[in-house]
Structure 1
Amino acid sequence: MSETGLRERKRQRMYQAVSDIAVRLFMERGFDAVSVAEVAAAAEISKPTLFRYFPTKEDLVLHRIADHEQEAARIVVAARAEGVAPLPALRRHFLDGLAADDPVTGLNDHPNVRAFYDLLYGTPSLVARLYGYLERSESALADAVAGVLGDVGGDARGEGRGEGLPSALDARLAAGQIIAVRRILAEENWRRIAAGERLEDVRGEAVAAAERAFAVLGAGLPGLT
């Protein structure tokens, strides 16, 4: 492996290690009760070093879900390359996540996973930062969807294309609906698990809800089916 590759691996290990330490402290004592200085001390690094990796305290937590930010866009790009329609690919991916108890679907009752989502959804500043995460997810997905809809060659207002072709707004609207459906399904699963329902009692209804939701999306977004 090249020296550049080794440096990147070391950098990623540092990100993960510091985030893990911070999340553990936050789950034990509460987000607001733990200072950035305490996280830095626990990670045995200086505060300036910590801030080079994580510009804000909230980033220490959101790093754990950062890999999912462009997940939907990656699925659409891969599906298009394989000649598969985007919505069936996204539906299959979500259903596979439910079957695997992927935490991102909300259908997971492991104590550490529940504690993390309690921290995430129970801390106002983290909830506020989630909107930025969702906006970036929508933007990445809109770019991927634009290619499927034929939204190529125009500007952000849809100008520069022939009449009747889909606009950038169409791609953004589609992406917003898809991201919203995935988020709401996951939040509902998490809410029920957090309320004490057994995972296996929730699973069947979670699958049925996902099927209904993607069917509705398909009816409203025929260009992606």
Structure 2
Amino acid sequence: MASKKGFSMSRDPLSVSKKNNSFITEKYNSIFDYEKFEIIDLKAELIESEEKIYNNSMNIGKATFEIAEELYNVNQKLANRGNGVYMEWCSSLGINKDKSSVLLKKYKLFLETSKREIMELPIPVVKTLTSKNSNFTQEDILEVLKDKKPSLKIKEIEKRYSQVANKKSCGIQEAIIVESPEGKLERELKLKQGKLDFINRDIAEREKNLKKIREEREQILREISEIEKNIKVLIQTI
């Protein structure tokens, strides 16, 4: 059987038997060692994913989305099961690290856009869109996806961002260059005046609150005095 790019399907986990000159497909046999990595509790689920991926890989062009989806789900399930378990699992299916990485990235882009056409994007475009330093928005991704030449479109968008960044940089440099000593002092003066205005407003507010507190204190003292008088009157009548 010819190998697909990124896949090695030389082993045949689908056992077959010959009967009456016809091949009968039997139960899928996994070769991944689930006991070794102590993930017995997920064995049944993951073997089901193995079988789906293997079967779909026979027609990789049509089933890329299904394979990417299964890989993403398995990757999430094995995320906290130890370093390297996921890739060991992929290797048992003949899926190498690069192929897995690209499919996971494509599926993550699908989750952002809900567009299955993402699976058809060239690998370099996918890597650019998902790079750590990428600033591409969802609108950018959709713009790339709609274009007949996504590789050229993404370069166009990158150039656009670069020009905006350069303009901002030049604007900052120009502002620094044209600012005179007088302008700098005026800017500092405005900052100081702003702080002073804030302090004055704060003082006025505090004085207002203090006056209110003093009035409340006087009221309470008067009430206390009235209560004391009433107590004395009651004592005298006893």
Please say which structure displays the higher CA radius of gyration.
2
- Bigger fraction of residues in helix: 1
TM-score normalized with structure 1 length: 0.29
